[in-house]
Amino acid sequence: MTLIPYRPGAVLLALCASLFPLIASSVPAAALADPVPRWSPRHHHTAEDITSFLTAFYGDHGPSALDRSQRVSQQLKEKQAHSPDADVVLCARGVPQDIGIGPATVAHTAGVGWATVTTTWDSGFTDTFTAYVRLDSRPIVLDDVICAG
């Protein structure tokens, strides 16, 4: 009589191989698909995401100190540091009476999205500028602002 050495790894491998077809057949096909999760590395912000973010970020009278510290890119923080006489996030000085966010546009090949921001001031003056968001930023942050004039 020949004795076969006991190998728990080999037995476990054989058992798994024999059970896999049973397990796989009981799983719905949708569960086996490779869906892209909302915040996967392959996800890019949509125009709706950008509009929602900018609306919340700017609010009615401008971003809060917390938003300015946590929801702004390092690049924009450095731009502000080099422009102490202006508020680069609002393209002006002071607190606007009202802020409106236009619909966002997304350029997938450029990796950015943007929207026009309109500020209304107590004097009745209205100004516009463009706010940019990188499509792959995690979490979503204001990446840059280009003032109209």
Give the per-residue pLDDT at 1. Answer: 52
Mean pLDDT value of segment 18-35: 45
In a domain, 79, yes or no: yes
In a domain, 133, yes or no: yes
In a domain, 25, yes or no: no
Tell whether the model's pLDDT for residue 2 goes beyond 70.
no
Please give the residue range of the domain that contains residue 65: 47-147
- Percent of the chain residues topping a pLDDT of 70: 71
In a domain, 24, yes or no: no
Mean pLDDT value of segment 89-104: 95
What's the whole-model pTM score?
A: 0.71
Give the per-residue pLDDT at 32. Answer: 43
In a domain, 22, yes or no: no
Q: Supply the CATH number for residue 51's domain.
A: 3.10.450
3-state DSSP helix/strand/coil % of the chain, to nearest 5: 35, 20, 45
In a domain, 36, yes or no: no
Give the per-residue pLDDT at 80. Answer: 95
Tell whether the model's pLDDT for residue 27 goes beyond 80.
no
User: What span, in angstroms and rounded, lies between the C-alpha atoms of 88 and 93?
Assistant: 9
- The lowest-confidence range among 29-38, 42-51, 63-72, 113-122 is 29-38
Task: Locate 48 and state its tokens.
Answer: 């709706």
User: What span, in angstroms and rounded, lies between the C-alpha atoms of 63 and 84?
Assistant: 17
Higher pLDDT, 86 or 17: 86
* Number of folded domains that form the chain: 1
- Residue 85: what are its φ and ψ, rounded to 5°? -90, 0
In a domain, 30, yes or no: no
Mean pLDDT value of segment 37-47: 68
In a domain, 14, yes or no: no
